[in-house]
Amino acid sequence: MRPQTIQIFLPAGDPRGMRVAEITTRIVRVIEVPRSQLADFLKLPEAQQVGVYFLIGELSATGLPRAYIGQSGNVGTRLVQHNQNKDFWNRALVVISLTNSMTQTHALFLEWFAIAEATKAGRYSLENGNTGFQPYTPAPLQADCHEIHETAAILLATLGQPVFEPLTNNPSTSDGQAKPSELFYCKGPEANGVGEYTSEGFVVHKGSTARIGNVASIQGTSQKRFREQLVTDGVLRQQGQNYVFTRDYLCSSPSMAAIAVLGRSANGWLEWKTEQGQTLDGAKRQALPSST
- Considering the domain architecture, whether residues 102 and 211 belong to the same structural domain is answered as no
Question: CA-to-CA distance for 54 and 115, rounded, in angstroms?
Answer: 10
In a domain, 172, yes or no: no
Question: CA-to-CA distance for 206 and 284, rounded, in angstroms?
Answer: 23
Q: Closest Cα partner for 118 from 58, 160, 165?
A: 165
Q: Please give the chain's pLDDT, 292 residues, in tens.
A: 788 899 999 999 999 999 999 999 999 999 999 999 999 999 999 999 999 999 999 988 888 999 999 999 999 999 999 999 999 999 999 999 999 999 999 999 999 999 999 999 999 999 997 766 788 899 999 999 999 999 999 999 999 999 999 888 654 433 444 456 799 999 999 999 999 999 999 999 999 999 999 999 998 999 999 999 999 999 999 999 999 999 999 999 999 999 999 999 999 999 999 999 999 999 998 877 765 5
Q: Tell me the pTM.
A: 0.85
- Considering the domain architecture, whether residues 117 and 236 belong to the same structural domain is answered as no
Rounded to whole angstroms, what are the CA distances from 104 to 32, 70, 93, 114?
21, 12, 18, 15
Computed on alpha carbons and rounded to an integer, the radius of gyration of the chain in Å comes to 22
Q: Closest Cα partner for 4 from 209, 197, 154?
A: 154
In a domain, 63, yes or no: yes
- Considering the domain architecture, whether residues 266 and 197 belong to the same structural domain is answered as yes
- Please report, as a single letter, which amino acid is at residue 226: F
- Considering the domain architecture, whether residues 116 and 19 belong to the same structural domain is answered as yes
> Structurally, how many domains does the chain consist of?
2
Contact by Cβ (8 Å): 30, 43: no
Q: Coil, strand, or helix at residue 182?
A: coil
In a domain, 164, yes or no: no
Q: Closest Cα partner for 102 from 134, 136, 68, 71?
A: 71
Question: CA-to-CA distance for 260 and 164, rounded, in angstroms?
Answer: 26
State the DSSP code for 146: H
Question: CA-to-CA distance for 7 and 23, rounded, in angstroms?
Answer: 6
In a domain, 74, yes or no: yes
**Enclosing domain of residue 245:** 184-285
- Considering the domain architecture, whether residues 120 and 189 belong to the same structural domain is answered as no
